[in-house]
Structures are given as structure tokens and as C-alpha cells.
Amino acid sequence: MLGTSDTFLAHTEEHGSGQGAENSLKSIKQAHCRLLNYALEEGFTYSTWNHIHNTLIPKDENGCKIHRLRVIHFYEDCRTLGMIGADYAGFQEANLDTNQTNVRKKIHAAVRKAFDHKKVTFGSTPQVHLREYKLGGTLSMVMRRSVGRVVEAKADYLGRWTRTVLVQGWKEALGLQCLLRL
């Protein structure tokens, strides 16, 4: 555990009636600050929701999975992308029914909190689901100044891929694809 041993205090006779609670709160705040400093120095992002994300460890081979729409987790991923200076992100196996308007609104709200400029492309199957969860699907985002260079954003009707084309000048083009592994 990263510095959590400082948060546990034993009651001794030295503390007065209200002093023990005051000292334990102070100790918890100090441990929290130490944990935050360690996380920032070692390449971690630490959220106020007590989630620690290591930005230096590569993701699993299946890609980044959102698994139901917990907006705070997706926002933390967007914030991490902002901290490392990413201009493009692709999510395979988004597992969301992005055909539903409320799901799209939640995704856009989370991305809007992290970035001023964004372009989000969804790829999902046309099947209708009652819940937000749906197997498969892709999601790709272009953030920051690169949004102004987007000339094409497409998605497969079965949710297998999303494609974004960026241009620079008249002749240079960059095609970015987020592909679903089958």
C-alpha cells in the first residue's frame, strides 16, 4: 500500500478527549498528500474518487474496455490522455450501445470536461438493446488542435472499426483507424 500505514493511529493516554480525532484527521491528510505526490512523481494519475491509474504500464492486449458507462472512470481516462498530451485515442470493445442518445450524451459530457476541442466517432451494431451495455463496438476521439484538421470521420455499420482522416496542407493526409479484434 502506498503510505496508508500512517492513517491508522492507536489511542494513547497522551491525547485529550478531542485531540485524538484532530490528530488522526491531520495524519490522514498527510498520508493523502504523500500518496498524491508519489503518484504524480512515478507516472500515476490519482483521482479524487480513490482510483489510481498507472500511465506507464501498457494496457492489456484486448485494449481499453469501458464495460458499462461509469462516466467517472471514462473521465479519468480522458484526463490521463490529456496529461500525456495525446491527440488521438481509440477504444476497442467499448461495450456500449452508442445508438442510444443518453449514452452519447454521457460520453460527450465526460470528454467535454477533459478537453475544450473534441471529435468523437462511435461504431456500434444496429441491434437495439434496452440497457447501455452492448458487446463490441469501437470509439475514437480526436482532441485539442487536431480537431481542426479532421476532414473525414466514418464508422462501420457493424461497429468493427472507426476511421478518422486528418490533413495538413494540401497533399498530406493521415488516416487513423480503431479496429475491433475479432
The answer on pLDDT for 156 being more than 60 is yes
Which of 28-32, 95-99, 124-128, 141-145 is least confident?
Answer: 28-32
Residue 24 grid coordinates: 488522526
The residues spanned by each domain of the chain are: 4-42, 58-179
**CB 137, CB 65: distance < 8 Å:** no
pLDDT of residue 6: 36
CATH of domain 58-179: 3.60.10.10
Q: How confident is the model at residue 40 (pLDDT cuts 50, 70, 90)?
A: low
Q: Cα(154)–Cα(30) distance, rounded to whole angstroms?
A: 49
12: left (phi over 0), alpha (psi -120 to 50) or beta: beta
Residue 8 grid coordinates: 491508522
Q: How confident is the model at residue 168 (pLDDT cuts 50, 70, 90)?
A: confident
pLDDT of residue 174: 85
Q: What secondary structure letter does DSSP report for 161?
A: E
Mean of the pLDDT values across residues 92-113? Answer: 84
Q: Indicate yes or no: pTM above 0.85.
A: no
